[in-house]
Amino acid sequence: MAKVQVTILFLLACLTASAQSYEKVPFGDFEHWTVRYVTESQIVGGQEKVLYVIGPTDTIRSNDPYKYKNTIWASSNALARMMGVVKVSNNVTPDDGPTGKCAKLATEYGWQHNFRVPVIYGDARKAKEYQSYMDLISGDKTMYALNSKGKKKVIQEEEWAEADCPVTHAIMMITSSSQGAFVGAVGNVLWVDEIRLEY
């Protein structure tokens, strides 16, 4: 700790001796933050989450992307809308510093135990939980699977079945990104464990 204090004092002495002038960076004191309240999609919990922007003191309740017109600051905090699913990531937050507020930059991961994905039977478009990503798979979203003979075949979803129709097959797709904003990006990570079906 003593080495750090000596270095800082030496640096301050050098700066004072050179008679430099200083200009404050807008919002560089981190005393002002815009607080954004965003509601995530039901499939990822449906919770209201907070995103912070270093900028004018304000409160915004909206799932719309933030327009950075009133601040020079951007961060890794993000609102993503991928295939209709709204999810947020908030790694930059205000915190108490030695002279007021400061910016806390952190990489955090929240493990969620017993996360459930409900199955909608019949025409999902009629369900209140329906999102566009639940639609029938076709066109450029076509997927493939191995059939009972080990042959790779196109999955053809042609129409919705009745809600009381017996289920004969299920497709489970688990991906850290899928045909959305982050297709092929290095660094997308998803940990999955203990998958089970509940009847």
Beta bridge partners of 35: 52, 59
Q: Domain tally for the chain?
A: 2
Burial string for 6-31 (b: 16+ CB within 10 Å, else e) reads eeeeeeeeeeeeeeeeeeeeebeebe
Q: Taking residues 68-96, what's their average pLDDT?
A: 82
Q: What are the C-alpha distances in Å from 53 to residues 37, 41, 67, 80, 99?
A: 11, 21, 10, 15, 20
107 occurs within a structural domain: yes
Question: What range defines the domain where residue 147 resides?
Answer: 124-154
101 occurs within a structural domain: yes
Same domain, 35 and 82: yes
14 occurs within a structural domain: no
- Residue 99 pLDDT exceeds 60: yes
96 occurs within a structural domain: yes
Same domain, 79 and 141: no
Over residues 153-182, the pLDDT tens digits come to 888 888 999 999 998 877 777 665 565 544
Same domain, 112 and 130: no
Q: Taking residues 88-107, what's their average pLDDT?
A: 81
Q: Is-above-0.85 flag for pTM?
A: no
Point out the least confidently predicted range of 17-21, 65-69, 78-82, 103-107: 17-21
Give 185 or 194, the one with higher predicted confidence.
Answer: 194
Average pLDDT, the chain: 76
6 occurs within a structural domain: no
Same domain, 77 and 149: no
Same domain, 97 and 134: no
Same domain, 86 and 134: no
Confidence of residue 49 (pLDDT cuts 50, 70, 90): very high
Over residues 133-151, the pLDDT tens digits come to 788 888 777 777 767 787 8
133 occurs within a structural domain: yes
